[in-house]
Amino acid sequence: MSSPLDLADARPGPAFTVTLDDREIEALPGQTVAAALWAAGVTSWRTTRGAGRPRGVFCGIGVCFDCLVTVNDRPNQRACLVPLAPGDVIRTQEGTGHDD
Amino acid sequence: MTDRPHLAVIGAGPAGLAATLAAAARGLRVTLVDSAAEAGGQFYRQPAAELRARRPQALHHQWRVWERLRDDLRAHLRAGTVRHLTDHHVWLVERRPTDFVVHALLGPEQEDPATVRADAVLLATGGYEQVLPFPGWTLPGVVTAGGAQAMLKGTLVVPGRTAVVAGTGPLLLPVATGLAAAGVEVAALVESAGARAFARHLRPLVSQPGKLAEGALYAAQLARRRVRPLFRHTVVEAHGTERVEAVTVAALDAAGRVRPGTRRRIACDSLAVSHGMLAHTDLAESLGCRLDGHVVHVDDEQRTDVPRVWAAGEATGIGGSALALIEGRIAGSSAAARLTGTEPDRAEWDTSLKSRRRLREFAAALDAVYRPPAHWSEQVTDETLVCRCEEVTAGAVRAAVDDLGAGDPRTVKLLTRAGMGWCQGRICGPAVAGLAGCRPTPSRRPFARPVPLGVLAQEPDHPTEEGPS
């Protein structure tokens, strides 16, 4: 069973910890929020404003805005673009992600 | 500072890189402005440096071409003839009486502004994927085929363990092959085009044996992993509650309708889907460049109809990386000649012009072969969301047309809010037009991406960066 990391013979530095809704997940240096969540088996991290339906990555390149997430208390960040740093706090986002 | 003309190239994919190198080699100062952390665009998207991939070429084709582009770019950067601005998301190119100002937002959060002043601009803004709606296409785990590939190339992750790759287009083969090589079980490759469509366009297709060989290589790699493409099939529904759990595929008849009694369910935890590519034309549109249909109009030298604005690559017509490289080279050479007041040396381009013509014919043939099924909208139920951002259903779009008399996408948008959300209709545009039974129209977005109000409110004469010496 190969993995993408094996395929590219990647030797990233040590994994670090971030949190998703207070749950600890591991991230590798260079990974975006979306990449770390996918690697942790998480594919949805937002619910829509209207029907409250789950969403995650769709376009993967910053065009569609489906993967919006709250990172370090900043809502509406595109998970496919934002790189992670140790200790980052990711929160699933409901609606617009604001407190209203 | 010198008095050599300064060209801003927007986009560091194959077209932008080729243009940058051609223009810099002919004496222009070039600033290459790109949103990614590293050059390459989507085609040569590189794994993040911190992942320290020793074998990134395992995720790519035409790696030697990339190495040459990368090395030439580095040489120009060292020589100071090219400046490469990474993590710069361009939202507007402003045309002033004697020059241009490129407005960008910095970094992934895109809140801090930066500007670049230049004598001319070259748009190599690339394209993105089109996905037409079907029931279940908003479920997590359903991703664009290019998105799955971008995540794999850039961050070395995959969407799940078992994927279905579906839709239509030449991209499906490398995406399925790449996912399989990365350890994903590809449960099915579902392509709506059929052998008859290929037969109708045989001549331009066989004129590119290299491309055919590339396709055959992918097919062989998939066959080795026991993935057999299902031609003339389509995904009619994705199933699941919190994420995709299975898809239903069905065979198509010659007219592009689902054949009764052919539906079958395939279990999967991810679906990579694509129905072709769309050009990024926002910057060209706001500069007032003429479009041909949905791509930027250019002349033989890749000049737009706006003076001192060139365009190359997918923005001028979807055609793949080989065509983008040639168009970029022609555009960069033309810019260098025109900005220094000389006639371009067409003899020097002769081979490029011939290749460009053949590759454009090839692209046109592929475009004719890989059309979404003619009756795709019949599978879209009234409950299916069409506009993902504003959660507008197909039923609402149909009601706007049938009950309220909307006759064009703009009126549908005003009546339903389809296309008014975060993505500004980039994803739902073709679907709304298709469901409404009208031709898609250019969207004329004033800005190419969301801009914080604070940036817009800043004084207009803030200092601008100059180009490389």
Q: What does the alpha-carbon distance between residue B310 and residue B299 come to, in Å, rounded to a whole number?
A: 9
> How close A90 gets to chain B, by Cα (Å)?
15
Contacts of B56 in chain A (CB under 8 A): 8
Q: What does the alpha-carbon distance between residue B278 and residue B51 come to, in Å, rounded to a whole number?
A: 30
Q: What percent of chain B has pLDDT over 90?
A: 83
Query: What does residue B59 show for φ and ψ, rounded to 5 degrees?
Result: -100, 5
Contacts of B138 in chain A (CB under 8 A): 53, 55
pLDDT given for residue A47 in this prediction? 96
| Of the partner residues A12, A68, A80, the one whose CB lies closest to the CB of residue B50 | A12
Query: What does residue B189 show for φ and ψ, rounded to 5 degrees?
Result: -115, 115
> How close A86 gets to chain B, by Cα (Å)?
14
> How close A52 gets to chain B, by Cα (Å)?
10
Per residue in A21-37, pLDDT tens? 999 999 999 999 999 99
Contacts of A74 in chain B (CB under 8 A): 109
Are B109 and A82 within 8 A, CB to CB?
yes
> Which residue in chain A has the smallest CA separation from B183?
A2
pLDDT tops 60 at residue B277: yes
Are B148 and A60 within 8 A, CB to CB?
yes
Contacts of A6 in chain B (CB under 8 A): 183
Are B50 and A64 within 8 A, CB to CB?
no
Residues 6+ apart with CB under 8 A from B397: B386, B412, B416, B418, B432, B435, B436
Provide the CA B174 distance to its chain's centre, in angstroms. Answer: 15
Q: What is the pTM for the complete model shown?
A: 0.96
Are A58 and B108 within 8 A, CB to CB?
no
> How close B303 gets to chain A, by Cα (Å)?
26
> Which residue in chain A has the smallest CA separation from B49?
A30
pLDDT given for residue B1 in this prediction? 47
Contacts of A92 in chain B (CB under 8 A): none
pLDDT tops 70 at residue A1: no
> How close B167 gets to chain A, by Cα (Å)?
15
Contacts of A13 in chain B (CB under 8 A): 50, 52
Work out the mean pLDDT of chain B and round it to a whole number: 94
Work out the mean pLDDT of chain A and round it to a whole number: 94
Q: What percent of chain B has pLDDT over 70?
A: 98
Q: Which value, to the nearest 10 degrees, does the dihedral of the CA atoms of residues B211, B315, B24, B67 take?
A: -40
> Which residue in chain A has the smallest CA separation from B107?
A82
Contacts of A82 in chain B (CB under 8 A): 108-109
> Which residue in chain A has the smallest CA separation from B129?
A59
Query: What does residue B388 show for φ and ψ, rounded to 5 degrees?
Result: -65, -35
Size of interface A-B (CB pairs under 8 A): 161
> How close B379 gets to chain A, by Cα (Å)?
21
Contact status, residue B84 vs residue B467, Cβ threshold 8 Å: no
Query: What does residue B308 show for φ and ψ, rounded to 5 degrees?
Result: 65, 25
Are A56 and B141 within 8 A, CB to CB?
yes
pLDDT given for residue B443 in this prediction? 79
pLDDT tops 80 at residue A100: no
- Over residues A64-81, the mean pLDDT reads 96
pLDDT tops 70 at residue B184: yes
- Over residues B394-409, the mean pLDDT reads 95
> Which residue in chain B has the smallest CA separation from A36?
B157
> How close A17 gets to chain B, by Cα (Å)?
16
pLDDT tops 90 at residue A99: no
> Which residue in chain B has the smallest CA separation from A29?
B50
> How close A74 gets to chain B, by Cα (Å)?
10
pLDDT tops 80 at residue B463: no
Q: What percent of chain A has pLDDT over 90?
A: 92
Contacts of B42 in chain A (CB under 8 A): 61
Per residue in B167-183, pLDDT tens? 999 999 999 999 999 99
Structure tokens at B71: 């090395």
pLDDT given for residue B212 in this prediction? 86
> Which residue in chain A has the smallest CA separation from B60?
A8
Per residue in A36-56, pLDDT tens? 999 999 999 999 999 999 999
Structure tokens at A16: 């670090």
Where does the pLDDT of residue B92 fall: very low under 50, low under 70, confident under 90, or very high at 90 and above? very high
pLDDT tops 80 at residue B464: no
Nearest CA to B31 among B2, B3, B4, B7? B7
> Which residue in chain A has the smallest CA separation from B139?
A55
- Over residues B245-274, the mean pLDDT reads 97
Are A7 and B181 within 8 A, CB to CB?
yes
Are B53 and A9 within 8 A, CB to CB?
yes
Contacts of B423 in chain A (CB under 8 A): 63-65
> Which residue in chain A has the smallest CA separation from B46?
A8
Nearest CA to B432 among B371, B465, B389, B369? B389
Per residue in B279-329, pLDDT tens? 999 999 999 999 999 999 999 999 999 999 999 999 999 999 999 999 999
Q: Which of B34, B151, B385 to mutate to test the interface with A (most CBs of A within 10 A)?
A: B151
| Of the partner residues B50, B59, B143, the one whose CB lies closest to the CB of residue A7 | B59
Contact status, residue B251 vs residue B261, Cβ threshold 8 Å: no
| Of the partner residues A12, A39, A61, the one whose CB lies closest to the CB of residue B147 | A61
ipTM above 0.95, yes or no: yes
Q: What does the alpha-carbon distance between residue B135 and residue B236 come to, in Å, rounded to a whole number?
A: 7
> How close A37 gets to chain B, by Cα (Å)?
10
